Structure 1
Amino acid sequence: MAKHIEHEVAYYYDFHPTEEDLMGETSVHATLVHYLIEVLTWFLQGQTCAVYENLNFYQTPNPREYPLAPDIAVIKGVDFQHVRSWRVGKTGPAPQVVFEIASEETWKKDLQEKPGKYALMGVEEYFAYDPNEPPIGREAAGRLFGWQLDRGKRAMRKMPVGPDGSLWSAHLQSVLLPQGEFLRLYDRQGHLRLTQTDAQARRAEMEARRAEMEARRAQVMAEKLRSLGIDPDQL
């Protein structure tokens, strides 16, 4: 019996721009996407997890399939791979979490069409955020929206938003809180999740403060010894 060999599919849109590619992105959009990528990559380090930006996701071997390319995708249970695109079920599982950041051209699709499309792909949490000022979706009554997969119905149900406009991500174990142009992530204890640069800067600041306190304690002790007629330099 001849063995069936499945050849790699050369997807058309891996080599040609999609409509979204041709739209470009604003500085606000780019800044927030890069910030979230840095935050997610840093706090998920040590876990078997991959974070991707604007990667094409396919669900069939049809070379003309139009991909879904979320601004950010988080895939748990796999290591990061340098790939041109991702075929769900073959390259690896569907992302557990995706983010879309608003643009004038995509915002309505992000809210109206993407929840259904991501549900069919198997995405479990989908978040859409509008960092623009004034907000693009002014009629939508909010900046942050979230959906959670209802596995039984293979559909998304909208997440309840907190009084401060926040949402909870079970997969990221984080509170997502809108702050104007930024979307911040906090842990259960209310600590801001940092980028690597911010975490290292905070650690350096704490070490500098600790060294300063030690120097002050040493100075106080030296002055006390001198008041007793003891030369601390001779100890």
Structure 2
Amino acid sequence: MSTEAHRQVHRRAHRDGKERDPTFYPVEKKMGEDSLQTWIVELLRPLIERWYEALGRPRFVGADQFIYYQQFNPSKVVAPDVYVLPGVPPGRRVRSWKVWETGIAPSFALEVVSSDEPYKDYVDAPERYRELGVKELVIFDPDWERGRDRVRWQRYRRLKTRGFVRVETTNVDRIHARVLGCWLRVIGAGEEARLRLATGPEGEELFPTAAEAERAAKEAERAAKEAERAAKEAALERVAALEAQIASAAGARGKGPGAP
């Protein structure tokens, strides 16, 4: 069933009074978060939002909101570190998201492995995202070198024949996110580790942050003005040289045979 068909079903059910739901669905976390996790998310979320704007396909990119995927059962919930809601415009206020109200599940989700409970993201998270219906899940472990059975990147995809399965693991610094259409790439190490978007066949070119794009635009503007100034100076020099040649030629003619 298409997304629009889902929405129509939900609207009809709501109008008919069939979805009176007394269930309490919390909207706030009561637990702390690793500061490294926070720094990674604070950089990456607006980058993904800008990336979709650059593609001409703006959409909502959220972070750390509760997403409930089974009505009347608030234990069926995830809180992705970063996620994308297809068909939802950016700027919408989302306190929590209930999939059954809209028929829309995230197309992409990223989890940064917790330093306190690393195996929660290895074992529990994939099953919950399978139930949620997400198309692609990327799990990043900034502390992957602390355990022999840990890995820097994991990528899960929803495949037609196999369902929601892990399709890639790697310890290199980057991984391609198919839903995003670009690479996720680690910059820095240890407490300085951050995630960036990258483009190119091998993810060799970083997609700029808003600050970097602004600096680049200013530098390009300065370079353009400098080139314009240099071109004007060169043109004036050519005019001066031509005027000197004309004056010299006129003087030579004035000193020729028959001159008074």
Q: Which category of TM-score, normalised to the shorter sequence, fits these structures?
A: 0.7 to 0.9
TM-score, normalized by length of structure 1? 0.81
- Pairing partner for 1:88 from 99, 120, 138: 99
Quick check: 188-197 or 206-215, which moved more?
188-197
- Tell me the equivalent position of 2:157: 148
Correspondence for 2:108: 97
- Provide the aligned C-alpha RMSD in A: 2.6
In structure 1, the gaps of 5 or more residues are 231-235
What is the correspondence of 1:153-192 to structure 2 with a 5 Å cutoff? 153-159=162-168, 161=170, 164-179=172-187, 180=189, 181-188=193-200, 190-192=204-206
For structure 2, list consecutive stretches of 5 or more residues without a partner in the other structure.
1-14, 245-260
Report the TM-score, using the length of structure 2 for normalisation: 0.74
1:7 matches 2:8: no
Counting only pairs closer than 5 Å after superposition, residues 19-34 of structure 1 correspond to structure 2 as 21-26=30-35, 28-34=36-42
Note the 1:15-94 alignment, pairs <5 A: 17=29, 21-26=30-35, 28-45=36-53, 46-62=56-72, 64-80=74-90, 81-94=92-105
Taking structure 1 as reference, are residues 102 and 157 closer, same or farther at Cα in structure 2, changes over 3 Å only? closer
Q: Kindly indicate which of the two structures has a greater share of residues assigned to helix.
A: 2
Inter-CA distance 86–176: structure 2 relative to 1 (3 Å threshold): same
1:95 offset after TM fit, Å?
A: 0.6
Any idea what the Cα deviations from partners look like across 1:125-154, whole Å, max 9, x if unmatched? Answer: 11122345xx56443454222221234443
Q: Note closer, same or farther for the CA distance 1:3–1:103 as it changes in structure 2 (3 Å cut).
A: closer
Cα distance in structure 2, aligned partners of 1:111 and 1:213: 55
CA contact under 8 A between 1:97 and 1:126: conserved in structure 2? yes
Are the aligned partners of 2:60 and 2:86 in contact in 1 as well (CA < 8 Å)? yes
Equivalent residue, structure 2, for 1:225:
239
Q: Is the 8 A contact 1:125 1:146 kept in 2?
A: yes
Q: Flag the structure with more relative contact order, 1 or 2, with Cα contacts below 8 A and sequence separation at least 6.
A: 1
Per-residue deviation, residues 163-197 of structure 1 (Å, max 9, x unmatched): 84422111111022222312221123643212223
Residue 32 of structure 1, CA deviation: 1.2
- How many Å apart are 1:69 and its aligned residue? 0.3
Q: Contact 1:29–1:101 at 8 Å: present in 2 too?
A: yes
The number of residue pairs the alignment matches comes to 221
Aligned mates of 2:207, 2:41 — CA distance in 1 = 15
Kept after mapping to 2: 8 A contact 1:13/1:66: no
Alignment partners' CA distance in 2, 1:130 and 1:193:
22
Matched, 1:111 2:122: yes
Q: How far apart in 2 are the matches of 1:100 and 1:66?
A: 17
- What does 1:129-148 correspond to in 2, within 5 Å? 129-131=140-142, 135=144, 137-140=146-149, 142-148=151-157
Structure whose alpha-carbon radius of gyration is higher: 2
- Equivalent in the alignment of 1:233: none
Amino-acid identity (%): 22
Q: Tell me how far apart the structure 2 counterparts of residues 55 and 129 of structure 1 sit (CA, whole Å).
A: 18
Q: Distance in 1 between matches of 2:136 and 2:16?
A: 39
The 2-side partners of 1:33 and 1:211 are apart by 37
Question: By how many angstroms is 1:67 displaced?
Answer: 2.0
Provide the rounded CA distance (Å) in 1 between the counterparts of 2:169 and 2:75.
33
Q: Assess, with a 3 A threshold, how the Cα gap between structure 1 residues 197 and 226 changes in structure 2: closer, same or farther.
A: same
